[in-house]
Amino acid sequence: MKTTSRMNLEPKPSASAETVKVLTATDLHLKRSLYGELRTAVEQHRPDVICLVGDFLDAEDLPPSNERLTPTGAALALAALPCEIVLARGNHEDYENWPEFEAAWQTTGRTLNALHCSAVKFGQLVIIGFPCGLGDDSAWSAGREPTSHDPEEWMSDLLRTTGPAGRALWLMHEPPSRELAAYEACDPDWFNVIELYQPLLTVSGHDHSTPLKTGRWRTKIGDTVAVNAGQRVEPRKAAAGPLIYCTAEFKFLNGRPRLAVPVKRHGA
């Protein structure tokens, strides 16, 4: 499996500014219509990078039909998109679906950016992917360096490798704050590490209902913008959609990131 090394992640200083456009989505759950709307969003916004923040696989409660992709179909659909793809694990990426997805992806010749307490760099943008504390991650993490789920045990080392650009975009399936998710759906460890290191933006999903009930899909943790971009309704329902996703643009000058365009939610 071709994976991203932690070496040489620190961006080289540059006298000119660089802007990287990112589109994020979560919780597609193999629903064909949501994957189709993702392609439409890519055509509209033309991002440099797409980040899927967990639960893009698994549809065990969705009846087999034309509405349901296989893991192979999902891999091929994503690999066909004209931009870089970054994946963070959710609680539904496991032995039931990840090996099939991974095998199909390898046939495309594209690098598999499946983050696990690790980072990947595109231009000057560094994206850090958190583990998911729910479900079985043994298939996802196979072949990667064993790492604790506790970010205190790996984040500081990783940020020493990435430099300031590692505080741009963090992906974590479980939201870090009760303002974005029910108590049982959020992870307080994520809140603590955000509060400590203050990245510009974090994107989560997992909780499909709290932002819709409260009307609040983003919050601030210090100077960090934290977003829950989960889908409108439970994805197993036939009426799921339209796709909810977020866009953001990061600008870099001498390796230091800032949000050039504030994060926007679409499809709500």
Mean pLDDT (whole number) for 46-70:
83
User: In this predicted structure, what is the pLDDT of residue 63?
Assistant: 59
Residues 161-186 have pLDDT tens digits of 999 899 999 999 999 998 888 877 88
How far, in Å, CA of 12 to CA of 209, rounded?
42
Question: Domain locations in the chain?
Answer: 18-266
Both tokens of 173, joined, read 């399936």
**Does residue 21 surpass a pLDDT of 70?**
yes
Residues 82-121 have pLDDT tens digits of 999 999 999 989 988 999 999 999 999 999 999 999 999 9
Contact 90, 206 (CB under 8 A): yes
Residues 6+ apart with CB under 8 A from 134: 90, 91, 173, 174
> Would you tell me which CATH number, out of the four given (3.60.21.10, 3.40.50.720, 3.20.19.10, 3.40.250.10), belongs to the domain 18-266?
3.60.21.10
SS3 state at 214: helix
List phi, psi (to 5°) of 76: -70, -35
Residues 35-46 have pLDDT tens digits of 999 999 999 999
Residues 194-206 have pLDDT tens digits of 999 999 999 999 9
User: At 1, is the pLDDT very low, low, confident or very high (cuts 50, 70, 90)?
Assistant: very low
User: Which residue in 54, 34, 106 sits closest to 75, CA to CA?
Assistant: 106
User: At 62, is the pLDDT very low, low, confident or very high (cuts 50, 70, 90)?
Assistant: low
Give the residue with greater pLDDT, 7 vs 249: 249
